[in-house]
Structure 1
């Protein structure tokens, strides 16, 4: 379990679980989300919400994990641009840590 800051002073936080991060990875939710300038603003938050809403509408009720991510994190009342920026940073750090374990699991066994 991780906590990300949702405001500049750090008085508001959002809890993010491994399952949330796995769901972000499964749907590649951050792929192409942030422009080349790297700035996360409220327009980016809205873009992510629209993308997820489209996924949910195309497959209603099929993925509880995606719905949980929405309720717990993306549509959290504290989620603003700074929170999403911190979530993207957390996701990048988490995905880098996942690479070594994925490489070990995908290594072909030779006899």
Structure 2
């Protein structure tokens, strides 16, 4: 379990699980999310929320992992642009530590 800071003053935080990070990786939720300017603002958070909504709507099988991510993180009351920026940093750090899977 990881904890990220959700606002600049540090008074709010979010708990992020390994499963949440694995779901982000599974669906490639951060790919092509941020514009070339590299700024994470509320419009980027809105774009992520719309992308996830679209994924859930188009899923034919169970999408419990996406729903859990939404409830626990993306639609959490404390999630704002600053929190998303911290989540992206955590994800990149987590992803770099994953062992590469060898393809056969």
Residue by residue over 1:26-52, the C-alpha shift from the partner in whole angstroms, topping out at 9 and shown as x without a partner, is 000000001111100000000000000
CA RMSD of aligned residues (A): 1.5
Q: Runs of 4 or more off by more than 2 Å in structure 1?
A: none
Task: Give the TM-score, by structure 1 length.
Answer: 0.88
Give, in angstroms, the shift of residue 59 of structure 1. 1.6
Structure with higher helix content: 1
DSSP-derived class of the 1:9 partner: coil
Unaligned residue ranges in structure 2 (runs of 5+): none
For the pair shown, which has the larger CA radius of gyration, 1 or 2? 1
Structure 1 CA distance for aligned equivalents of residues 19 and 102 of structure 2: 21
Name the count of aligned residue pairs. Answer: 104
Cα deviation, 1:39-68, whole Å, max 9, x if unaligned, reads 000000000000000011112661211110
Q: Which residue of 1 aligns with 2:64?
A: 64
Tell me, which stretches of 5 or more residues in structure 1 are unaligned? none
